[in-house]
Amino acid sequence: MRSLGADVVEVRLPKHLEALDAFIIPGGESTTIGRLAVLYGLVEPMRDAIGAGLPVLGTCAGMIILASGTLEGDQPQLGALDVVVRRNAFGRQVDSYEAPIEVAGWSEPMVGVFIRAPWIAKAGDDVEVLASVEDADTGESHPVFVRQGTVLATAFHPELTQDTRVHEMLLSMAAAAKED
């Protein structure tokens, strides 16, 4: 984000959300992120900020946190994205991989870095699917990049590549939200 000219603030407490133009919920361990969000009182302030139109990007575990549900387990989620996700859908850490992702409206594919990644098992009508991948075992297609209003989510890690288009989308959404 800094390389794109954005000022970056780490959000650790609710007060850190107050002056943001957009925010990112990163990859990592979604259960831990959820527990820490509860512990530090961030769940409701994040829901409120997103509900008020603050653009957000969730990557991998961030997608799980933004989702309305998971197929397995129970953990804190924001319900900001009308999707149900399957955690670790691509397998264990050793099953991590990179693959070209065809994104709707983009002339060139991007590299998707999938690390114990989720996929979307079910998406609501207001969710725009920007990219999907095929399950190697079943041949079924599963969304891995979606948008719903000012919420973006990827099952992969765009920050681990040199391709900045996903982050540029977030900054563009932030600029548009400021104009409103």
Q: Which residues are catalytic?
A: 60, 157, 159
3-class SS at 83? Answer: strand
Contact yes or no for 26/62 (Cβ under 8 A): yes
Q: Position 173: which residue type?
A: M
* Cross-strand pairs, 58: 25, 153
Contacts of 93 (CB under 8 A, 6+ apart): 115, 116
Contacts of 36 (CB under 8 A, 6+ apart): 42
Give me the phi and psi of 85, to 5 degrees please.
-110, 155
Q: Position 103: which residue type?
A: V
Of 160, 98, 149, 153, which Cα lies nearest the Cα of 131?
153
